Structure 1
């Protein structure tokens, strides 16, 4: 976005067109009020869904977490930074408000419209921010070594779900969230832009920020704040301009999806070292995966790319904007804001000391969602064993023998499974040039940089290879081998997708790795009978087909499966040769219903 000054009270504002049909409004903005109104129409997010809080919310006791554990998971920092905390709390929503103030961005009914789940105030969440937001303290003010309070996203932002049925909600810890991080990022950027270019809005913002930080409210302090805001906007504009110029993100992700490896790779390989040549098109969005049992899998990610829990979590934190030092004195290289200790503790809470003793998959809630037809489920058990169990190997945490036989994740090649290949192929073919000048594959590059970030933290804190050490608080901690989960930080890029055990599958809609099939029932149909277009963003549950409501609604995301990256092909039960996505014979209506009923019992 570019603002050209034309004199007092007058400006001419232009911006590049976006690939979304409407584009930006382009023209002359003559007053602050008109600038605010025009800026509010920028972007392609359209109207947001209205937020209707449920009448009741159930936390599932059978998931094996206490309320205190849930709150800690929801709001524990992994070391990421969106912006200074005082800015976030002071920011107004990007909507016209002349002559008064707009509501705050953190109002209780606004962030839930972007898919975030409300959360009560607590010691871990003093200002009552939604699940997935954490307050932390790190980061340097420009030109100084001062730290400041910042707000960042936690693991729970993408990995806490909620299903709702007739006014009653069921909280799914470790389940996929409905967050639309793209819309969140766009609206945050627009709110900052409007704050900078509206004198009344900036005056309110500055008063709140300086009051919250305890800095004297002087003209000099306000000017310093304005310069910081300009630097943040300039950095964002540069990043956004490159994304638009190179069409890096041509597939809108919408609610509940993110091209995590693609976008994360762009940040780690191109933004952190400021090397635009490492940017790559990210057009393979995936749904947020469920977390239960994942710490015990041999390989994780939809393409089975990562082996080590610590490497997985550090890569995730870096991908959502932790700060990493990649230049400067040798002793500073690879120092980061990543909260390695928190990441280990989070992983331990998820995993428990043995399979089945950490976070457990959620059982079907019959008193809310309806009773399971046990006779149909028993028939479905046989069909599932015959048709599905060869890939989705059943594994019940806590069952006899489960501790000595952790879950096996079957990898199925692209030709056999036939689902959209973008996510797997993009990662397998991507390369990047490291700051050393070495060109590597994406998997090798992420292995190298995550290993260096992890080892730098270990070195700085004096963590031994094995045994124990004592942290600054006096707590005895395990050594590197234990913190790494007893695994090497190995990465790979197979042209395949994983088939995990399906316990808790009812709570993870929509389906396939890219979220292109709205219900379990449609997963059992030939692909040409699945919905070509449906809407995402509603949490209203369909207990018959097992998925969310897919009907059009105001503010919903229109999911078009004809767009590459969004394909709903593959994983088909269709008569014919078993190849190119056909994995079994066409089923009768009774067989489909029986299998769906059985999957409710997992």
Structure 2
């Protein structure tokens, strides 16, 4: 992308420059490490870790960054050890595509970044800083200055070693081989691993290493425009959506996954008789999360900036509006009124269907973990109690999210109002929506048993779909043109990167930003995590080549 002039996609009048900047750098509570530490870390070449603002991983720059060397989607926030660097929505949801030297920035689009390489290199950089006395002395001087006392250096070493123990354990057990590659990650596994593996053990490390499993069900980052309007969300569509509380539960779980600090502790009594404190050691920025959700509602789908064959697109629209059996798309991807969960938020129906695509994602949702400090914990307004030894990771996560939301909300009330809530066994009606925030473990099991080894996924409204290649939930199809072919004829291996082909509407064959080729599997390995199988709509069985061309032209206009 070096040297390409950057332009911004037209994403509607509501998406202003000030909102864009806020979206890029708004803190949501992620705390990767003290900023001074990351500035002090180096690469094997001796260059500073932040020397290129992480552009080598695909992260993007903006002149409004809060600190030198901090890319789009990274935040600086106060912490007990000084300013901390973290991640916010824009790191994973800002896209830049390159066509003939033109770089088009698309806010809310699926990022083409190599998150696994970033995590691995950060782990290795801290390992080098701690590998011997000489290396640590250089690191300490860069962090503390040359006049730092021996006590300050010893304290830094203890803190850095503890950080590295936790981070390195997470990386060694989580990161898969082959790697996710640019534009993909297994977010659900990483959230499970982060909460169950790093937060529920005993001090000082809080680790339960055996709760960390390989994150080998990669998905591409979803686009965010219209995300709040879906009445169900997450790739397998297991989460109710469409209200501020449901959005907060969705986003708080995401913060836990991107290094929000969260270490629940036992307590007795308290608001709603909660037997754990979920907010005492929780870095989540609840105000920031609400602001970010409001911003996401303002992001419009990007408008196609190149020429459209209007006559061809009009023919394509008629094809789009056919039934699925006739090669159309409207049954699953048309705009229909969804479930009403907030009188001020209108939603769109989000069908959840198994269309024969890769099933690996569903397998990880039913995994079990040791419950650690949450053993036996119960939220009095929900039916499930966490098991004494083990339980579904999903139950542990839902308890951790909902417990924190409730305690935070009640803790912000006046003393008199809070006192009235002590000892209550039921959640006030204003919080009823949280009962739908996560399905129960039994509901999840039933959902996946019903599809007999397959996996259902959400079918979203396709506005802006042209800007979100590669396709299918796991990014296994390089273009929309390929998606309209039978799985057996789709490209088996392709390079990942920002270069775009506006004829096929997807990734260009030639990519130079990354040295990574995604190798997909066929329908004989449907649970590999990388299968290109399924969603065989609009193929030659239902549409002629001319009809597929017309449909493709129409999809550019959405």
Q: Same fold (TM over 0.5)?
A: yes
Given that 1:298 and 1:409 are in contact with CA atoms closer than 8 Å, whether structure 2 keeps it comes out as yes
Q: Given the superposition, is the C-alpha separation of residues 424 and 372 from structure 1 closer, same or farther in structure 2, using an over 3 Å criterion?
A: same
Equivalent-residue separation in structure 2 for 1:200 and 1:555 (angstroms): 34
Identify which of 254, 265, 268 aligns with 1:327.
265
1:363 aligns with 2:292: no
Report the Cα offset of residue 151 of structure 1.
0.7
Equivalent-residue separation in structure 1 for 2:336 and 2:135 (angstroms): 56
SS in 2 for 1:425: helix
Given that 1:180 and 1:256 are in contact with CA atoms closer than 8 Å, whether structure 2 keeps it comes out as yes
1:95 aligns with 2:44: yes
1:372 aligns with 2:313: no
Equivalent-residue separation in structure 1 for 2:97 and 2:305 (angstroms): 11
Report the Cα offset of residue 569 of structure 1.
0.5
Equivalent-residue separation in structure 1 for 2:348 and 2:13 (angstroms): 18
Given that 1:525 and 1:586 are in contact with CA atoms closer than 8 Å, whether structure 2 keeps it comes out as no
1:430 aligns with 2:394: no
Q: Which stretches in structure 1 are left out of the alignment for 5+ residues?
A: 1-50, 97-101, 139-145, 352-357, 398-402, 467-479, 576-583
Q: Which stretches in structure 2 are left out of the alignment for 5+ residues?
A: 201-206, 241-245, 271-275, 323-327, 339-343, 377-386, 418-427, 449-455
1:314 equivalent in structure 2: 252
SS in 1 for 2:75: strand
Q: Given the superposition, is the C-alpha separation of residues 462 and 514 from structure 1 closer, same or farther in structure 2, using an over 3 Å criterion?
A: same
2:380 equivalent in structure 1: none
Matches within 5 A, 1:51-66: 52-62=2-12, 64-66=14-16
Given that 1:534 and 1:552 are in contact with CA atoms closer than 8 Å, whether structure 2 keeps it comes out as no
1:501 aligns with 2:461: yes
Equivalent-residue separation in structure 2 for 1:481 and 1:317 (angstroms): 26
Equivalent-residue separation in structure 1 for 2:107 and 2:15 (angstroms): 9
1:188 aligns with 2:144: no
Equivalent-residue separation in structure 1 for 2:140 and 2:516 (angstroms): 35
Equivalent-residue separation in structure 1 for 2:411 and 2:135 (angstroms): 43
Relative to the length of structure 1, the TM-score reads 0.75
Report the Cα offset of residue 405 of structure 1.
5.6
Q: Given the superposition, is the C-alpha separation of residues 546 and 198 from structure 1 closer, same or farther in structure 2, using an over 3 Å criterion?
A: farther
Equivalent-residue separation in structure 2 for 1:168 and 1:396 (angstroms): 38
Matches within 5 A, 1:329-408: 329=267, 333-335=277-279, 336-351=282-297, 358-366=298-306, 371-386=307-322, 387-394=328-335, 406-408=347-349
Report the Cα offset of residue 73 of structure 1.
1.0
Equivalent-residue separation in structure 2 for 1:186 and 1:176 (angstroms): 21
Offset from partner CA, 1:333-382 (integer Å, 9 cap, x none): 2111111111011112222xxxxxx221111012xxxx111111111111
Report the Cα offset of residue 78 of structure 1.
1.1
Moved more, 338-347 or 584-593: 584-593
Report the Cα offset of residue 156 of structure 1.
0.9
Q: Given the superposition, is the C-alpha separation of residues 449 and 385 from structure 1 closer, same or farther in structure 2, using an over 3 Å criterion?
A: same
Report the Cα offset of residue 52 of structure 1.
1.3
Report the Cα offset of residue 53 of structure 1.
3.8
Given that 1:121 and 1:129 are in contact with CA atoms closer than 8 Å, whether structure 2 keeps it comes out as no
1:164 aligns with 2:107: no
Report the Cα offset of residue 396 of structure 1.
11
1:570 equivalent in structure 2: 534
Identify which of 51, 62, 72 aligns with 1:107.
51
1:443 equivalent in structure 2: 394
1:9 equivalent in structure 2: none
1:400 equivalent in structure 2: none
Matches within 5 A, 1:440-589: 440-462=391-413, 488-492=435-439, 493=444, 494-495=447-448, 496-536=456-496, 538-551=497-510, 553=512, 555-562=514-521, 564-573=528-537, 585-589=541-545
1:81 aligns with 2:18: no
SS in 2 for 1:197: coil
Report the Cα offset of residue 221 of structure 1.
2.5
Equivalent-residue separation in structure 2 for 1:177 and 1:163 (angstroms): 10
2:198 equivalent in structure 1: 271
Offset from partner CA, 1:118-140 (integer Å, 9 cap, x none): 12145xx13251111001122xx
SS in 2 for 1:178: coil
Report the Cα offset of residue 486 of structure 1.
5.7
Offset from partner CA, 1:567-586 (integer Å, 9 cap, x none): 001011488xxxxxxxx835
Q: Given the superposition, is the C-alpha separation of residues 404 and 187 from structure 1 closer, same or farther in structure 2, using an over 3 Å criterion?
A: closer
Equivalent-residue separation in structure 2 for 1:442 and 1:545 (angstroms): 40
Offset from partner CA, 1:416-447 (integer Å, 9 cap, x none): x01001112321x2233432241443433322
2:20 equivalent in structure 1: 70
Given that 1:63 and 1:361 are in contact with CA atoms closer than 8 Å, whether structure 2 keeps it comes out as no
Relative to the length of structure 2, the TM-score reads 0.81
Given that 1:303 and 1:424 are in contact with CA atoms closer than 8 Å, whether structure 2 keeps it comes out as yes
Count of matched residue positions in the alignment of Structure 1 and Structure 2: 489
2:384 equivalent in structure 1: none
Report the Cα offset of residue 201 of structure 1.
4.8
Q: Given the superposition, is the C-alpha separation of residues 487 and 150 from structure 1 closer, same or farther in structure 2, using an over 3 Å criterion?
A: same
SS in 2 for 1:269: helix
Q: Given the superposition, is the C-alpha separation of residues 505 and 445 from structure 1 closer, same or farther in structure 2, using an over 3 Å criterion?
A: same
Report the Cα offset of residue 329 of structure 1.
4.8
Report the Cα offset of residue 203 of structure 1.
3.9
Identify which of 259, 280, 284 aligns with 2:186.
259
Matches within 5 A, 1:190-339: 190-197=124-131, 201-211=135-145, 216-243=147-174, 249-273=176-200, 274-307=207-240, 308-327=246-265, 329=267, 333-335=277-279, 336-339=282-285
Equivalent-residue separation in structure 2 for 1:395 and 1:131 (angstroms): 34
1:150 equivalent in structure 2: 84
Q: Given the superposition, is the C-alpha separation of residues 346 and 238 from structure 1 closer, same or farther in structure 2, using an over 3 Å criterion?
A: closer
Q: Given the superposition, is the C-alpha separation of residues 326 and 233 from structure 1 closer, same or farther in structure 2, using an over 3 Å criterion?
A: same
Using CA pairs under 8 Å that are at least 6 residues apart, name the structure with larger relative contact order, 1 or 2: 2
Q: Given the superposition, is the C-alpha separation of residues 460 and 360 from structure 1 closer, same or farther in structure 2, using an over 3 Å criterion?
A: same
Given that 1:280 and 1:430 are in contact with CA atoms closer than 8 Å, whether structure 2 keeps it comes out as no
Report the Cα offset of residue 393 of structure 1.
1.5
SS in 2 for 1:62: coil
SS in 1 for 2:98: strand
